Amino acid sequence: MRRRVISSVLGGTALVVVAGVLVAFLSGQGQAQSDLVVELTERLTSTGIPVKDIVITRHKPVQLEIVLQSTSDTNVVAPDDPLFRHMTLRECVFFRKQYPDLNRIKIVVVNTRGEPIVWSEWSTERTIDPDPAWLKETNNADTAELLRKSILLHGMSLDALDVSSDSNGGQVLTVELSVQDVFSANKVVPKFIVGLGSLINSTNREQGTEIMMYRVYLVDVMGQPLLKYVRDIQLSRESWWQADNLTRDWFPHPPLSPQERGEGQ
Amino acid sequence: MKARYFAPRIVLVGVVLLASVLASTHEVLAQNWYAGNGRDNTYGIRANIQAPAGGIYLAQDGESNWVSTAYGDWIQAGWRYYVGYSVPRPYVEVVIGGSYDLDEYGTQSWGTAIEYRVEYDGSSTWNAYIDGTHRGGFGPHSVPRTVFALSEVHNNSANELNTQFSYVKYRNSSYNWVFFDQNKWIYDAPYSVTQSLYYQYRTYGP
């Protein structure tokens, strides 16, 4: 009888201990995930990304829904939104080095009425090539000077060319251009974008620069944006916004519908 | 009397001028050439797309070979090959709500085929797959949609095209995969397509 009481007490105590450990573990994990959200929010907002909300949608592995606030009040994004989406993905991919449990993100852009304009679900487990650890220090002013001399503008005006350092290593090139109007832009944008890609690749390869990302902002004489483009070499991706009537001839695209061609059905 | 002589000449000069303006406009606008087949009213598309053994000649820019939703926004998966690439690169391109994304995923060897697929998941989201691997979910993108499995040559019609599309299927409203069954052929000269089967064809040219 006594033995049975002792074993019951011991069994009960063990159960309480196990439950306690489990609760402590889970609350620790919960705390770690809350920290992840706080840290990621800080990281994104500090780079100017308009984060509206970050919600953990799954705990193991961690999946996040990141809501970005657009300035658009329609079902079409504002010119800066695609670049914000890209930077959000990039930051999350690099952030995964700190939080390997961060597995997948859904980025939702909402308009001023709170309606989703676009969403994308991506894995954060992506190849980063080259790895930041391989990048060496480079002089941004020298790189900018080098590119100012070699960039082919095809008649567009170069308003600014700047090279800065990325927080994840590497250099970031920003090129600001202007043209008379969209018709002038359509004649040169395809060859400019293709040419700039080749120039950056060869400059990195032959001149020892470490440009891992570049942005192109193109406006017309009235200052109206025609193109806001970013290419991320480390993640092998491009994101952009473009004016409706800007040419699509520099990237793959399906044929237009009979209505879009103005032919009716 | 003079007017009688001049009127036809003015008309002739006008026609010649108009023709040359149209020709030059066409030259500026017709920067892409398509070849392949399509299907209306679908909930997805998949195809095995081969990169030709031995590579292809490019005079300028490049080409892409893909499956895609179309008409309005689109979600596309395929391989592309541009000047400066040593081998084709699989990619997913998405255009929704004025936001453009293009992600490349590794390489595709010459002489091999990879399955590319985009499909509706039932909740305004479409998923893209390359060789069975999920490469993202995107929305909102409505159904049903017209889809295409095409080759697209960019900016220079001297670029060589030689792509085999096999097992080209669409997803019907019951979410079953069915072989392409419609005559929705597209082929912009100087490119062409073998048309013996709607779901198995080779695009080629110039």
Question: pLDDT per position in chain A (265 positions), as tens?
Answer: 566 666 666 666 666 666 655 555 555 566 667 888 999 999 999 999 999 999 999 998 999 999 999 999 999 999 999 999 999 999 999 999 889 999 999 999 999 999 999 999 999 999 999 888 888 888 999 999 999 999 999 999 999 999 999 988 899 999 999 999 999 999 999 989 989 999 999 999 999 999 999 999 999 999 999 999 999 999 999 999 999 999 998 899 999 988 888 775 4
Q: Which residue spans of chain A are classified as CATH 3.30.300? A: 12-123, 134-242
Residues B16-72 pLDDT 10s: 444 444 333 333 444 899 999 999 999 999 999 999 998 999 998 899 999 999 999
pLDDT for the residue numbered B2: 43
Give chain A positions within 8 Å (CB) of B95. 253
Contact A77 B97 (CB under 8 A): yes
Query: For residue A85, which residues of chain B lie inside 8 Å, CB to CB?
Result: 99, 101
CATH class of B32-205: mainly beta
Using the Cβ of B41 and the Cβ atoms of chain A, whether some distance falls under 8 Å is answered with no
Q: How far apart are CA A70 and CA A59, in angstroms?
A: 27
Contacts of B118 in chain A (CB under 8 A): none
Please report, for chain B, the start and end positions of each structural domain, with discontinuous segments joined by +: 1-30, 32-205
Strands B126-130 and B44-50: what pairing?
A: unpaired
Contact between chains at B100 and A242 (C-beta distance less than 8 A): yes
| CATH number 3.30.160 is the correct assignment for the domain at A134-242 | no
Q: What distance in Å separates the CA atoms of residue A247 and residue A244, rounded to the nearest whole number?
A: 8
Q: Which residue of B has its CA nearest to A257?
A: B71
> ipTM score of the complex?
0.87
Question: Of the candidates B31, B98, B138, which has its C-beta nearest A77's C-beta?
Answer: B98
Is there a contact between B166 and B50 (Cβ–Cβ < 8 Å)?
A: yes
Question: Measured between alpha carbons, how far is B206 from B188 in angstroms, rounded to an integer?
Answer: 10
Interface with B, mutate which of A81, A232, A253 (most B CBs under 10 A): A253
Q: What is the CATH number of domain A12-123?
A: 3.30.300
Cβ contact, residue pair B100, A251, below 8 Å: yes
Instruction: With CB atoms and an 8 Å threshold, state whether B125 touches A119.
Output: yes
Contacts of residue B24, Cβ cutoff 8 Å, sequence gap at least 6:
none
Best A57, A80, A111, A122 residue to mutate vs chain B (most B CBs within 10 Å): A122
Chain B residues closer than 8 Å to A71 by CB: none
B185 touches chain A (CB under 8 A): no
Contact residues on chain B for A237, CB-CB shorter than 8 A: 101-104
How far, in Å, CA of A244 to CA of A125, rounded?
33
In the numeric block, the tokens 């706080």 are attached to: A38
Q: Which residue has the tokens 């010459």?
A: B110
Residue A13: partners with Cβ closer than 8 Å, 6 or more residues away = none
pTM: 0.87
CB-based contact B102 A247, cutoff 8 Å: no
B152 touches chain A (CB under 8 A): yes
Q: CB-CB: which of B76, B80, B97 is closest to A76?
A: B97
The mean pLDDT of B112-126, rounded to a whole number, is: 96
Q: Which residue among A86, A237, A259 places its CB closest to the CB of B104?
A: A237
- Are the beta carbons of A144 and A158 closer than 8 angstroms? no
Asked whether the beta carbons of residue B138 and residue A119 sit closer than 8 angstroms, the reply is yes
Which residue in the set B100, B134, B155 is minimally distant from A240, CB to CB?
B100
Among candidates A54, A72, A53, which has minimal Cα distance to A63? Answer: A54
Please tell me the distance in Å from B6's CA to the nearest CA on chain A. Answer: 35
